[in-house]
Amino acid sequence: MSEISLKGVRKSFGQTEVVHGVDLEIASGEFCVFVGPSGCGKSTLLRMIAGLEDISAGSVSIDGDMVNEVEPSARGLSMVFQSYALYPHMSVRDNMSFGLRMTGTPKAEVARRVTEAARILQLEPLLARKPSQLSGGQRQRVAIGRAIVRQPKAFLFDEPLSNLDAELRVAMRVEIAKLHQDLKSTMIYVTHDQVEAMTLADRIVVLRAGRIEQVGTPVELYSDPANLFVAGFIGSPR
Ligand code: ADP
Ligand code: MG
């Protein structure tokens, strides 16, 4: 579990600033959803939190440690992307254990964590399969399993369900909610899907053009939107 703090975070690519000073405190164990239209800076913000992108100004800290002063592998964060690139030649089991084995974790401990993650995600019958023998939803579960075995302080999800069809998205949404209940880890979840935001979040951060428009619980945003943009975004499912 982990507290994440953003202070005056800005990001420029060349001369163009795309994130314009974001302040945000994410509590330990919170499920925080970043929502906003395409291009508003959700991924950039998440990547700065992950330490995958330089911070142009301001700071990001995790449990009081500045992310840019900590080695990426020591940050204790696991990121799950929409393009769940699995190794095609490896079994599900090996896909889930590979990263952990690289860190020098003892074999028995790796096996124990993979078994536990497979149980949580109901992947046990699929451990010997190759990615090509899995459905899209199953592949995404393997990608989440890979994140779980690292026992991160926090999970960062970047539109993890956007490549799935509507029915699978609903099923996976339920699984992610359950995962949060089980692990009680801090989760930051990026989506442009209002329904996902409303159903998953403890708190929603509504972004627009690199700025926070409003932060609140789903009920607060729905019943008391700060402006027409938030009202339109939260009110109108697509
Ligand atoms: P979102 O995830 O909300 O769709 P992004 O964070 O990907 O938005 O992008 C925010 C803005 O930053 C966009 O205008 C995008 O074009 C720009 N951007 C993102 N990554 C880069 C990059 N590597 N180089 C230049 N511009 C970028
Ligand atoms: Mg994005």
Mean of all residue pLDDT scores within the chain: 90
Per the structure block, which two tokens stand in for 100? 């952990």
CA 154 / ligand 2 centre spacing (Å): 19
Q: How far is CA 132 from CA 69, 100, 199, in A?
A: 39, 22, 31
Residue 57 phi/psi, 5° resolution?
Answer: -155, 155
Rounded to two decimals, the pTM is 0.91
β-bridge partners, 26? 4
The pLDDT of residue 238: 46
Mean pLDDT for 124-138 is 93
Taking CA atoms only, the protein residue closest to ligand 1 atom 20 is 44
User: Residue 167 and residue 125: Cα distance in Å, rounded?
Assistant: 22
The answer to whether residue 73 scores a pLDDT higher than 50 is yes
User: Residue 17 and residue 218: Cα distance in Å, rounded?
Assistant: 29
Q: Is 42 in the pocket of ligand 1 (CB under 6 A)?
A: yes
Ligand 1: atom nearest CA of 42 is 3
User: Residue 37 and residue 20: Cα distance in Å, rounded?
Assistant: 16
User: Residue 106 and residue 202: Cα distance in Å, rounded?
Assistant: 36
β-bridge partners, 33? 189, 204
Q: What is the ipTM score, two decimals?
A: 0.98
Identify residues whose C-beta is under 5 A from ligand 2, the ion: 43
Residue type, 32: C
CA 158 / ligand 2 centre spacing (Å): 7
User: Residue 228 and residue 230: Cα distance in Å, rounded?
Assistant: 5
Per the structure block, which two tokens stand in for 56? 């142009």
Q: Is 209 in the pocket of ligand 1 (CB under 6 A)?
A: no
Q: Is 43 in the pocket of ligand 1 (CB under 6 A)?
A: yes
The pLDDT of residue 154: 92
State which of 12, 17, 18, 83 you would mutate to test the pocket of ligand 1, scoring each by most atoms of that ligand within 8 A of its C-beta: 18
